[in-house]
Structure 1
Amino acid sequence: MATAELAACLPVLLLVLAVAVSAVSAVDARARAQDAAREAARAAGRGDVAAARRLGAAAAPGARLQLTVAGGYAVAVVRSSVRPLGGIVPAMSFAERAVAAVEPRAGAP
């Protein structure tokens, strides 16, 4: 008797597990994108745009980084996407944004 119930609900349990793993994967990718945006904005605020691009690429591989430095602020936007359930469902795209103040140059009056 128990074998029949297990056989009936095992596919459902596997589906729930797959959805849970995909959700954790999406949250992880979003956190990586936020970290990349924060690090890139801070580096761009210090005036090191090359390091900002390098840090952004290292923190979120495969993501696209857009840097803007204007008006005393450095803005970094990281766009990324995740394909949950191995690509069975459409990709989830998201953008994370971070802003840092541009630091004054050392030795400037």
Structure 2
Amino acid sequence: MTARRRPDRRPGRDRGSFTAELAAGLPALTLLLLAGLTAVTAVTTHLQCVDAAREGALAAGRGDGGAAAAHRIAPPGATVAEGGGGDTVTMSVRAPVKVLGARLPRITVDAAATAAREPDGAGTVP
């Protein structure tokens, strides 16, 4: 049995269409991949800042060095600030996130945690 060709379907008519579609879609796919990787990096850095702020606030509430405890856990390049007064202490951690791309601006994430000051041996809050 012989296959009949349709008159509107000539061989080779669709040649190169995949290459054109790939050339148009590849930059968009690359941009989407870079945005996704940057988002994952930003979330990871934010979680590190949250952990560092919590640890620093708890250490400062106990009367230990809160900023030193926060710096140990904070991501590279992070800045730590201690505040609060009276019965509480607040620790803020701020860190830049590298964006995957040479000429793009940096993103900065931050986190803060507050802890109650624990009383000293005499029962007073320092």
Alignment TM-score > 0.5, same fold: yes
Give the percent of matched residue pairs that are identical in Structure 1 and Structure 2. Answer: 42
* Paired letter, 1:7: A
Letter in structure 2 aligned against 1:24: V
- Contact residue 44 and residue 69 of structure 1 kept, 8 A: no
Structure 1 runs not aligned, ≥5 long: none
**Structure 2 residue identity aligned to 1:99:** T
Larger Rg: 2
- Which residue in the other structure is 1:31 paired with? 47
In 1, the alpha carbon distance for the partners of 2:30 and 2:84 equals 47
Q: CA RMSD in A?
A: 1.7
Q: Name structure 2 gaps, 5 residues minimum.
A: 1-16
Moved over 3 A (4+): none
TM-score (norm 1): 0.85
Q: Secondary structure at the match of 2:100?
A: helix
1:75 aligns with 2:95: no
Match of 2:61 among 45, 49, 53: 45
Deviation at 1:97, TM superposition (A): 1.0
Q: Does 2:51 match 1:9? A: no
Q: Greater strand share, 1 or 2?
A: 1
Higher relative contact order, chain-length normalized (CA < 8 Å, sep 6+): 1
Task: Report what 1:62 is aligned to.
Answer: 77
State the aligned residue count: 106
Secondary structure of 2:101's partner? helix
Of 38, 49, 52, 1:22 maps to 38
